Structure 1
Amino acid sequence: MPSSYQAPSRKDKMQKKTRSQTSTTNTGTETATVSRLLAGKGKDVFSVRPQNTLLEAAELLRDKRIGALVVKDAAGKLQGILSERDIVRRLAETPGKTLSQNVEDIMTRRVEVCAPDDALISVLRKMTEGRFRHMPVVEEDAVVGIVTIGDVVNYRLSELEYESLQLKQLIVG
């Protein structure tokens, strides 16, 4: 036996054990919501009016490096949504005559919206089933944010990585 070895004593067992984690912290079930996503992403919403031209909308999409614009009237009420896809489709339908057309001519008028308290999984389901990538967040008739399918997927991936780390730490102790 090495000379530095000391057999365990009663005093060793009396030492207080500390744990950095508990079953509660490792198995928490907080629901991921739109408001939690927006807290990390920000609430910037870029919009155009129905009377703006598609050229103006395309320039704003380019300058802000985004894929969709909320369409609001003069009072700020949601009228529709315009995406890059909408513009591209119209370019194919009316070559050379598209950019002078108004946003209201091609915007989607029936807009699916979500609320800040909505679960991200339900938002993702709506986007997948409806085959669209952008959803305005509305609270008390005001647009307070916009989420994209990429935002939701990235948020969920980060959440899964965190859950995986928690499980590893729970197993290792």
Structure 2
Amino acid sequence: MLIETILKDKGGKVTTIPATATLSEAAQLLDTHRIGAVVAVEADGSLCGVLSERDIVRQMARKGESALALEVSAAMTRGVITANSSEDLDRCLGRMTDRRIRHLPVVDNGKLTGIVSIGDLVKHKIDAVTAEAEAMTAYIKGG
């Protein structure tokens, strides 16, 4: 299964935030959209990082409430690992597991086209295995 299939199922909308926004604004955005990470972008819209709930918690643990005034750029993960929509689910799942990341922005031809979480990939993997098991059971019973 390709990443593009997952994006079609979940929708390609990507929530972004300027790298100059505050962690307080980012936390509000995560809460409003009920998501675990947001893609940080430069003024020109280009991807420059990913900020997760864990990044915010880490800064809060280090700096207390004053961390909420920090810019997203101070807490985000840089050097973001990405995928493209034509990549296979298993390959991306392996990369995420190996690198211990939970969110993978999808970039095609230099443009941010989506984001998938490890939960999205695991759900689709389970659905595919379940469908295959049901098909095999039906074949055996019918055959």
Residue equivalent to 2:88: 119
1:50 match: 19
- Report the Cα distance in structure 2 between the residues aligned to 1:52 and 1:136, rounded to whole angstroms: 19
Task: Please name the residue that 1:86 is paired with.
Answer: 55
Q: Report the CA distance between 1:132 and its aligned residue.
A: 1.0
Sequence identity percentage? 39
Q: Where do 5+ consecutive residues of structure 2 fail to align?
A: none
Distance in 1 between residues matched to 2:13 and 2:58, nearest whole Å: 26
TM-score (structure 1 length as normaliser): 0.81
Where does residue 35 of structure 1 map in the other structure? 4
Is residue 164 of structure 1 aligned with residue 133 of structure 2?
yes
Residue 31 of structure 2 aligns to a residue whose secondary structure is helix
Per-residue CA deviations over 1:13-47 (Å, capped at 9, x if unaligned) read xxxxxxxxxxxxxxxxxxx1100111111111001
Corresponding residue of 1:65: 34
Q: Distance in 2 between matches of 1:38 and 1:95?
A: 37
SS in 2 for 1:70: strand
Runs of 4+ in structure 1 over 3 Å off:
none
Structure number with greater Rg is: 1
Return the letter of the residue paired with 1:145.
G
What TM-score, normalized by structure 2, do the two folds share?
A: 0.97
Which of 76, 83, 92 is 2:45 aligned to?
Answer: 76
Partners in 2 of 1:153 and 1:130 — Cα distance? 16
- Structure 1 segments unaligned to the other structure (5+ residues): 1-31
The residue that corresponds to 2:123 in the other structure is 154
Letter in 1 for 2:40: V
* Distance in 1, Cα, partners of 2:53 & 2:77: 12
* TM-fit CA distance, 1:96: 2.2
Write the distance in 2 (CA, Å) between the matches of 1:53 and 1:96.
Answer: 12
